[in-house]
Structure 1
Amino acid sequence: MMRLSHLINADESDYNSTTSDEDDDSHQGSPIPDDANIFLSEVLDSLVRGIQLKSNPDFLILEINSSRYAYNMSLKEVNFNIVKAVFSLDPIKEATTTNVLSANNQVLGRLGMVVSNNIKSDDTMLDCLKAIQEYCEEQPALRAKVAQIIHYLYDKEFVSEEAIRMWHNELDDDSEWLKAPLQKLIEWLGQSSEGSSEEENDD
């Protein structure tokens, strides 16, 4: 970028067609990120800084909401990107199949309130699950443990049984890697629900 003083003193000869063409070429290979990607980057920065400084979760929520309004993100986009950002943090991103659940516990133990702040209905939980699906698909360690990750989120009450079932029913043929392990979780949830109903009837 030219200095302001140079722009003020420059004559027309400085702005020849060759320079313009070069400028155009230099920008063609660097697409401008859209607002959603910028928002995701800012959320990730906030979470990383929050962990490093041990920030109050309420402060992080306010910071993320400020970015939300700055980039005019819908609540659906906010939830989706918060989950993607959480699963992009180093402890989870760098996890192996042997320690992925420990990494989840480490991150969500610190940022659980930030994640759950807007994720309260089945629809918003569905957004959360879809974000996990999208991220896990490209991460072998997470992909191999996805059913256990969802089970963990269910146990910690981040997502409901109904949301998991809705998500499972919407999976298409391209998600075969996810359907089989999730089916086992669905069956377990069904057995768990039946056991709870029987206990209530006995009472």
Structure 2
Amino acid sequence: MYRASEIGLSRTAEFGPFTVIGNGTTVGNDSKISNSVIGEGCSIGSNVLIEGSYIWNKVTIEDGSKIRHAIVCDGVIVKSGAVLEPGVVLSFKVVIGEQFVVPAYSKVSLFQQPTVQDSDEELEYADSSSAVAEISPVSITAGMPDGDVISEAAQTHLGPSEVGNGGVGYIWSVCEGGREEEWRHSVAPIPAEKLAEITQATEDDLELSHQDGNILPPSGELMTNSIDSEDDNHEDSRDDSIYFEKEVEATFLRAVQENIKEDNVILEVNSLRLSYNMTSADCAGAIFYSMMKLAIETPHSSSSELQRNVAKVASTWQKLFKYYLPTLDEEIEVILKFEEICLESGKELSPLFSQILHFLYTKDVIQEEAILSWASEKEGADEADKIFVKQSESLIQWLKNAPEEESEEEE
């Protein structure tokens, strides 16, 4: 979760993952917010539930309200006990009455919905006698995001049949047959019945493709296409990895230059990870590459100075790096990445491989088990692949003997 400064949060409020709270926002007792973005200057009461939603600026959500997978624009007021079902969009300055339930996928605005016109030109030039519905007696200022006042006429114009008692707004209707497609354009999760339909359709398509494959005669052309497709997928994956690594490097360098906190860098890297569909190991490798590149590009005149650069960078960003090493597998991948760097882009680091690996071990970044597993995996490799294992032989032997020495001391 990311929280801006100058916010007021109750100690009993609960915040789930992937949540952002903007400046000047207050959250009352026992409210629960998860997977949501809350803008600036919002007032959220007690016992409020917000899930998977985007709440813009200066929004008031009173006690006991429930909002799931909705978009709420600036200046909206959701009165106590109101419920926004998944897919709802509330436009600027709308007021939802107490205990009112806004149906799923509804769009609510301060303005009445224009009726269907034969053409855009008719809609543009329609006069008061045309089929365009008149605008309700709401001031234009009230309909804009910067407006501060909703006219009294607007507040009294709507009854409970629209958006609840004391509410202000019109629920726009969906054209005939349109509601069936609303879920496609919503922030709400795909409805269970639609998901079942999609899954069934996919299974049917796969079954048909298998049947078609069985009746097709063996063909070299078919096999060639399959191989070409696999090659294309491999190239796409390779390109994604390169772009991802560059994005992470740019993010890391900006964090160094602007002194950005590690927690915020983690948020940015996580967003890149989701965008490129990468793993923790990919993130760790990209961050390690960025750290080593920074150490190399930092002025130095000897190997010892370069080693000090590496130690300084690794110590400064240890928390960020360690975040993406949840298991031994990721640690082993980083060692393999280090080998790759030393052989390709960072050959200047090659003579320092074992010293840097030992340093990472002493900083509890790389565990003993990861180093020994890496060495074990290299036992059957070609001699060319054992360069850094041989360079680290003394470290590996020391790690192997360390448990024996500890047990002897205990005896």
Q: TM-score, normalised by structure 1?
A: 0.76
1:78 corresponds to: 283
Q: What SS does structure 1 have at the residue aligned with 2:277?
A: coil
1:54 corresponds to? 259
The DSSP-based 3-state class of the residue aligned with 1:34 is helix
**CA–CA distance in structure 1, aligned partners of residues 339 and 281 of structure 2:** 15
Is 1:178 matched up with 2:388? yes
Count of aligned positions: 170
CA distance in 1, matches of 2:391, 2:403: 19
2: CA distance between counterparts of 1:83 and 1:113?
12
- TM-score, normalisation: structure 2: 0.39
Instruction: Give the drift of 1:39.
Output: 0.9
8 Å Cα contact 1:51/1:110 also seen in 2 = no
Q: Which residue of 2 aligns with 1:147?
A: 354
Match of 1:5 in 2: none
Shift of 1:56: 0.6
Deviation at 1:167, TM superposition (A): 0.7
Is the 1:39–1:67 contact (alpha carbons within 8 Å) kept by the matching residues of 2?
yes
How many Å separate the matches in 1 of 2:304 and 2:284? 28
Partner of 1:92: 296
Show the counterpart of 1:28: none
Query: For the residues of structure 1 that align with 2:389 and 2:271, how far apart are their CA atoms?
Result: 37
Identity of counterpart residues, as a percentage? 28
| Aligned-partner SS, 1:99 | helix
Query: Structure 2 vs 1, CA of residues 195 and 100 (structure 1 numbering), >3 Å: closer, same or farther?
Result: farther
Higher strand share: 2
Which structure 2 residues correspond to residues 9-88 of structure 1 after superposition, within 5 A?
A: 34-88=239-293
CA offsets 1:74-103 (integer angstroms, 9 cap, x no match): 2232222222222222x2355542223201
The code of the aligned residue for 1:135 comes to: I
Alpha-carbon distance between aligned partners in 2 of 1:195 and 1:93, rounded to the nearest angstrom:
40
Letter in 1 for 2:245: L
In structure 1, the gaps of 5 or more residues are 1-30
Moved more, 42-51 or 76-85: 76-85
| Paired residues of 1:122 and 1:160 also in contact (CA < 8 A) | yes
Letter in 1 for 2:266: I
For residue 157 of structure 1, report the CA deviation from its aligned partner: 0.5
1:198 aligns with 2:408: yes
> 1:92 corresponds to which letter in structure 2?
I
Larger helix fraction of residues: 1
The letter of the residue matching 1:144 is P
Distance 2:270 2:362 in 1: 27
Q: Are the equivalent residues in 1 in contact too, given 2:281–2:325 (CA < 8 A)?
A: no
> Of the two structures, which has the highest relative contact order with CA contacts closer than 8 Å and spacing of 6 or more?
1
Q: 1:132 aligns with which of 316, 328, 338?
A: 338
Range moving further from structure 2, 45-54 or 175-184: 175-184
Aligned-partner residue type, residue 404 of structure 2: E
Aligned to 1:17: none
How well do the aligned residues superpose, as a CA RMSD in angstroms? 2.0
- In structure 2, list runs of 5 or more residues that go unmatched: 1-234
SS at match of 1:88: helix
SS of 1:50's partner is helix
Q: Deviations over 1:39-69 (max 9, x none)?
A: 1011101111111111110011111001111
The separation in 2 between residues aligned to 1:102 and 1:141, in whole angstroms, is: 14
Contact 1:154 1:161 in 2 (8 A): yes
SS at match of 1:157: coil
Map 1:98-109 → 2, pairs under 5 A: 98-109=304-315
Larger Rg: 2
